[in-house]
Structure 1
């Protein structure tokens, strides 16, 4: 079934549930609220906000020491504020790995992405790292050093996930 079809079904189901709620009826069972449990492992992003703050510091030092600093105007401070807000956004928007019944989901730069079982080639685990290999596209790497993921519990859950679906699982 295509994703666009699933989105249409979920959208229509949400509309029907709103109507049923107004009438005082119980909502229909939706795909999003099914009884399956999704295990979510959250990390913390420190690398990108630190890089942005260092970039802001470099930008301030280079601009303030320039001879043309008095001509910069208010756009200089707006730019600095925007970079600080971006660093704050990266800090507060925590990366995660969610393992469901037949998919894994994670937050990427372009938004939340899911991989179905049929698209997973292998799962590799080593100390501090979890790598999910895909048939198409790049590998998903979850690192304890870069994003502070709890890799040990993730490895245990992915081991059972791989065994359940017959996905090759290697541990180094």
Structure 2
């Protein structure tokens, strides 16, 4: 089958799935869709926004109480506004862990990162924590306290992932 034919089939498949979605029907199950099923576990970031808001509160208190500072400066208020916007961005940009067929993906501080099953040294779970150890780079730690992750459900899925790929799995 030629590539152009495959593209036509994919395009028609996506058009039909959009129509079926509008009607409330389930999408057609086809390998041509090109999208792999991912198990995604989302958390909620609240510590970094809280830290930023406390920082800006400290900044406002210190600068407004300073004798030499004139609060009429527009750059002062722009800075405050931008820190509040940054706190909002951190609140809305939810951290996640997605487990695919042969990789795991997560949103790190610098962007989305994927790790293949061959690059994982081991997976450790304990109450409230899931740790993915890598051969290169730092460990990925998912915490119930820090980011409100559903660690119990994540541990079950990662255990199946580890068994499938022969990765050492430790449950403490």
User: TM-score per shorter chain, which class?
Assistant: 0.7 to 0.9
Q: How far off is 1:71 after superposition? A: 6.0
Give the whole-Å Cα distance in 2 for the aligned partners of 1:167 and 1:114: 16
Tell me how far apart the structure 1 counterparts of residues 74 and 105 of structure 2 sit (CA, whole Å).
Answer: 42
In angstroms, what is the RMSD of aligned CA positions? 2.0
Corresponding position of 1:78: 78
Unaligned runs of 5+ in 2: 15-30
Q: Which runs of 4+ in 1 moved over 6 A?
A: none
- Cα deviation, residue 72, structure 1: 5.5
User: C-alpha separation between the residues in 2 aligned to 1:25 and 1:92?
Assistant: 34
| Structure 1 partner of 2:128 | 128
Aligned counterparts of 1:37 and 1:139: Cα–Cα separation in 2: 25
Alignment of 1:67-146 (within 5 A): 67-70=67-70, 73-146=73-146
SS of equivalent residue, structure 2 residue 125: strand
Aligned length: 151
Instruction: Give secondary structure in 1 for the equivalent of 2:94.
Output: coil
1:40 and 1:71 map into 2 onto residues whose CA distance is 46
C-alpha change, 1:71 and 1:51, in structure 2 (3 Å) is closer
Question: 1:29 aligns to what SS in structure 2?
Answer: helix
State the Cα distance separating 1:70 from its structure 2 match: 1.6
Cα distance between partner residues in 1 of 2:52 and 2:61: 14
Do structure 1's residue 29 and structure 2's residue 32 form an aligned pair? yes
Q: Distance in 1 between matches of 2:115 and 2:140?
A: 10
Unaligned runs of 5+ in 1: 1-12
Corresponding residue SS for 2:40: strand
Q: TM-score, normalised by structure 2?
A: 0.82
Structure 1 length-normalised TM: 0.82
SS at match of 1:69: coil
Going from structure 1 to structure 2, the CA distance change for 1:155 and 1:26 (only over 3 Å counts) comes to closer
Q: Distance in 2 between matches of 1:167 and 1:90?
A: 32
| Per-residue CA distance 1:67-89 (angstroms, 9 max, x = gap) | 12226610000000000000000
Counterpart secondary structure, 2:157: helix
